[in-house]
Amino acid sequence: MAASKKIKTEIAKLRASLDDHSYRYHVLDDPQITDAAYDRLMRELEALEADHPDLVTPQSPTQRVGAKPDGPFDEVRHEVPMLSLSNAFDEEGVADFDRRVRETLEIENVQYAVEPKLDGLALSLLYVDGVLERGATRGDGVTGEDVTLNARTIRSVPLQLRGKDFPSVLEVRGEVFISRAGFAALNEGQRKLDEKLYVNPRNAAAGSLRQIDPAETAKRPLEIFCYATGRVEGGKLPDSHAATLKAFQKWGLRVCPESTTAKGVKGLMKAYASLGDRRDDLPYEIDGIVYKVDSRRRQENLGTISRAPRWALAHKFPAQEESTRIESIEVQVGRTGAITPVARLDPVFVGGVTVSNATLHNRDEIERLDVRVGDTVVIRRAGDVIPEVVSVVKADRKKGARKFKFPAKCPVCKSPVEFPVNEKDEASVVGYCTGGVTCEAQRKEGIKHFASRRAMDIEGLGDKIVEQLVDGEHIKTAADLYILDLETLSGLDRMAEKSARNVLKAIDKSRDTTFGRFLFSLGIRNVGETTAETIASQLGTVEAFKAVTAEVLEAMPDVGPVVAASVLSFVGSKPNVKMIDELVKRGVTWPDVGMLDADVEKTLDGKTFVLTGTLTGMSRDDAKKALVARGAKVTGSVSKKTDFVVVGADPGSKATKAEDLGVAILDQAALEALIES
């Protein structure tokens, strides 16, 4: 039955009314009706659309939640890369940023747009003729995931822009987050269901946006603040960032109400102090403040360094501290046998995360702090750094609290704990289990390291799977991974047959590696990626590695007595040598190092490189291998002795340090040209 003109008009009025009320609620923060009244209007519209399904449109407020897709998210390539930001942690870093901007622009004072740095997940929203066409995650900045169906469920994401003066193609970038109140309500719901609590708002937001079923995403209290543009066609944006945010708001896009402008370093620091003072009172988590050159024309003049803009800076807040009580002190055994004491805490929310564990580092640190079970302690967490105990509130200590006694035996395998002595006859502050591969804890951690991305890169072989395999005695060493079968893997908890097949494929794929990766994957104490590459390039074969001597090792660049002793200890262990032989026997292979280097000129001999960020179409391992083959040295930290810093996407602080030290910076194109030349 065709709908009458009256029905069509009524549906149009309801949609317009709902859109307007949603705009007032989410964008203007000025609701005109109650939630109950809004729900009544929505039910009226749903009833009319149910009777007249031919009138339903994708932009209707009733159509936020779509059907579950058939499979995982599709890849989306960002036509305009989603840039990361350089960081500053103090006023000196901000002053350096402002100085570089002024010197490049050749002006004396700069106006900046200033806005909070939200602790959430970046999202790209593409509008074509005002209609939301696609939502995509940032990913690595160049390639993200298509989460359109999930983005549509976020109430503060308009399905259709307001007005008519927006560009015909407008890509908007924003931050998806969960407010403090939303996070508390979300975890309260988890408690009632006796489900696992979410650790922090950021992780909850990221996980919510990547739910396969949009109906699940719709249940999560996701919000968004829009703060940037990407692709823009068929129209012009305002001349400044601040004016663009006002245009966003007019078009129905939500922006952060704390956004403002400031001039010069004094203005920036005043804004930083003001926001820092109000940080705990804001309804959402922030971890800093972002400064952007306000003028779009000047942004273009400044350009970018690799994939980080020269015209923007993230000024991070200092580490946050909270006090809580130590419930117990336990020790953990790492892959190298290192015994690390860990404080189990009465859970406390600090630095945007609920913390229940904190490292005590080593025996000497426990003695220095004089920390005891039952003590009230101050916990510090900054960014993604592991929480640590800063101090003990001794005034709150209960009588009779006993000092912690560091174990003389490994808590897992009961082997003796030793404190190695260095060449200066000084005992290490770190104790080590002497059990080696006979220690189940070391086996687990060693296999986890072996499978990790920087080592053999066995995708899908997570910690829980490794623990089940070891606990069930399905594997004893990393070599046993290569004789696993489908029946064993699919029989593990929460392991479907499809997932098991994918893990087996990843294990098989990992057989093709490089000698340097192979040596690093063995988890030898004191042998990191760079040292492993050095040893691989110097020795060339696994037979030479097994027979290496201290003299040969110590003659290598950056290999001293401590590293040499660790390598000799490893190859002097019969179980370790047996594992290496089994890995080779079971198909782990790599190109011959000698053959690899034979035809390559040492054009970069004596040059020192540092790699930071993500490269496109080339792993950092590939880049490192190509540089080393040409005689270069690749290290992990920037210093005055560094010749070049290669900067990819999301580079972090190394790029900033290179700028400060005047070290030459190469983007990926320059790196590739250097390698080819």
The CB-side HSE value for 478 (13 A sphere, CA atoms) comes to 32
Q: Which pairs with CB-CB distance under 8 Å and at least 24 residues apart come from 152-156? A: 152/63, 152/64, 152/65, 152/66, 152/214, 153/64, 153/65, 153/214, 153/217, 153/218, 153/222, 154/222, 154/223, 154/224, 155/22, 155/26, 155/64, 155/223, 156/26, 156/27, 156/223, 156/224, 156/254
CA dihedral 455, 456, 457, 463 (to 10 degrees): -80
Q: Which residues contact 412 (CB under 8 A, 6 or more apart)?
A: 333, 433, 435, 439, 440, 441
The two beta strands, 664-666 and 121-128, are unpaired
Q: What are phi and psi of 178, to 5 degrees?
A: -120, 130
263 annotated active-site: no
Which tokens in the block code for residue 65? 């939640």
In the block, which residue shows the tokens 């003049």?
Answer: 301
Which tokens in the block code for residue 356? 């229940």
Among 6, 8, 13, 117, the active-site one is 117
Yes or no: say if 173 and 122 are a contact pair by the CB < 8 Å rule: yes
- Distance CA(41)–CA(17), nearest Å, equals 8
- Distance CA(233)–CA(244), nearest Å, equals 15
Q: Which residues contact 395 (CB under 8 A, 6 or more apart)?
A: none
- Residue closest to 226 by CA, chosen among 162, 156, 166: 156
Which tokens in the block code for residue 177? 């987050």
Catalytic residue IDs:
117
